[in-house]
Amino acid sequence: MTAITSRLAGFDRRPWVLLSPALLSVTLLLVIPALFIVVYSFWLRTATGADQVTFSLANWREVLTDPFYRDILIQTLRIAALSTITCALVGYIPAYYIAYAPTRHKTLLLVLLMLPFWVSYIIRTMSWINILGVSGAVNSALLWAGLIDEPIQMLYNEATVILGLVHFLLPFMILNIYVSLDGIDRSLTDAARSLGCTGWQAFKEVTLPLSVPGLAAGSLLCFVLGAGTYITPMVLGGPGDAMFANLVFEAIVTQLNWPLGSALSLLLLALLSALVLVYSRFLGIDQIAKSFR
């Protein structure tokens, strides 16, 4: 009876009942809290460490004009961009191989590709200390071979931060490129070849352009995840390699300066959201969901 009346009213309640726990959680745990960051960013921290309820632009002025923050922001974007580009260049090769190679190991390669997602981020990050550290694999090998007399300090610089990020982000990139390569109609490259293209030309003119959605989705994911990290720089970076999220962590957890931390995290959010918006305007957010199928 209720079903009939609600259908007469042109309104089906059932999906909303199913959705309500999830939507309620998102609202309570994300949407409303996000509004609170906005409010907090206009508050002030008094000398005693308490929050002062007010409307002040001081935090914003500090965050937007202090060259210290600007430099770290630029550094963050640079590290994220370099990691993303490296991932794209390095990740295309295995993605192409899995999608097209005449191999019996396709399933195995795909399963292996999923494996890093199950191996903890912190473990993958710290594993590089065992490789590049003073008593790590590389130094031990070089010492053993007599090529060096004492261990080289290879860790704790921007390069190792990028290395750690690439190691963490690469599976996301490979998976996204693979999904888009796998969806390309094979007869298109065959047509190009039969019309006289070389293998390389067919790749450059047909396959590569058609895989751009995957490349773009992978790049967006890598960039956003890379630019928002603070663990990698803390584990693999030196004192000068802090990224923007480190500032947020420092302000909120160490200094307990909540208003400043709010302004900093909003700035990070604004930059990365702008990127996501531009992306979804041109390519649609659905591409990212595809890699879950």
Partner 1 sequence: MTLAWTAIRLGTVLVYLFMFAPVAVVMLLSFNANQFGSFPMEGLSLRWFVELIQNDAIVRAFQTSLVLGALTSVISTSMGVLAALAMVRYDFPGKRLISTALIAPILVPEVVLAVALLLFLRFLDVPRSFFLLLMGHVIFTLPFVVLVVQARLVGIRRDYEEAALSLGANAVQTFREITLPLMLPAVLAGMLFSFTISFDDITGTLFWKPGGVETVPTQIFAMLRNSISPEINALGTVMVVFTVALPLLGAALARRLSARMTGR
CA-based torsion, 97, 100, 105, 109: positive or negative = positive
Distance separating alpha carbons of residues 89 and 94, to the nearest angstrom: 10
| Structure tokens belonging to residue 35 | 């509004």
Residue 108: CB atoms within 10 A of its CB come to 11
What's the min distance (Å) between Cβ of 185 and partner 1?
Answer: 21
| 67 or 102: CB nearest partner 1 | 102
Taking the complex as a whole, the smallest distance from the CB of residue 168 to partner 1 amounts, in Å, to: 10
d(CA 26, CA 261): 22
Q: Which residue lies nearer to partner 1 by CB, 40 or 69?
A: 40
Q: Which two tokens stand for residue 75?
A: 């550094």
Instruction: Give the Cα separation of 146 and 133 in Å (integer).
Output: 18
Nearer to partner 1, 99 or 213 (CB): 99
Sign of torsion over alpha carbons 33, 35, 41, 46 = negative
Q: Specify the residue, 12 or 185, whose C-beta has the smaller distance to partner 1.
A: 12
CA distance 3 to 9: 10
Which of 65/254 has CB closer to partner 1?
254
For residue 211, give the nearest of 175, 167, 165 by alpha carbon: 175
Q: Are 81 and 256 in contact (CB under 8 A)?
A: no
| Cβ distance to partner 1 smaller for residue 84 or 262 | 262
Q: Which of 96, 87, 101 is nearest to 210 (CA)?
A: 96
Whether residue 264 contacts residue 248, with contact meaning beta carbons closer than 8 Å, is answered with yes
> Minimum distance between the CB of residue 116 and partner 1, rounded to whole angstroms?
6
Give every CB contact of residue 117 below 8 A, 6+ residues apart in sequence. Answer: 171
Rounded-to-integer distance, Cα 29 and Cα 254, Å: 23
CB of 103 to partner 1, least distance (A): 8
